[in-house]
Amino acid sequence: MTTPIHSSAPGSLGALHAAFRFSAQRHEVLADSVANLDTPNHRPQDLDVASFEESLSEAIDAKRDVDAARLDPKLLPPVAPRGVAIGGELLSHDGSDRSHEVLAQRMTSNLLRFRALAGMIRGRWDMLGTVTRGRL
């Protein structure tokens, strides 16, 4: 599944939605890694957060450069999150490098990011709703 960096949502909502979708996709990848911890020769996977954040930053900068009201899909191609292997330092007897602690830490970190993004999106929509109803 690809995460488009652009969005039809106005202003910063496009960037928030892209980050929110990336976080949800990352959770799926991490959950799959947890589910397969006991599979021989399984290599846990994660999405490359730094690569996504760099792409998102470039998209936001491009939006500023063209001074558009939204991130333009014509300027910014969809980016497929890149999977990266976790670990590699210490292999167990069956050739896997699983670590419950590393996966738990990554899932917790991602959950906190997901909740923060959901709160920011909710706040933006609440603010837009208040403005459109004409109440402060």
Q: Which domain holds residue 98?
A: 13-133
Q: Does a structural domain hold residue 97?
A: yes
Q: Does a structural domain hold residue 6?
A: no
Average pLDDT over residues 1-25: 70
Q: Does a structural domain hold residue 69?
A: yes
Alpha carbon distance 14, 10 (integer Å): 6
- pLDDT of residue 75 exceeding 60, the answer is no
Average pLDDT over residues 41-51: 85
- pLDDT of residue 44 exceeding 90, the answer is no
Q: Does a structural domain hold residue 2?
A: no
Counting the structural domains of the chain, the total is 1
* Predicted structure pTM score: 0.71
Q: Does a structural domain hold residue 98?
A: yes
- The dihedral built from the CA positions of residue 58, 60, 65 and 66, taken in this order, carries a sign that is positive
Q: Does a structural domain hold residue 31?
A: yes
SS3 71: coil
- Among 78, 81, 98, which Cα is nearest to 37's? 98
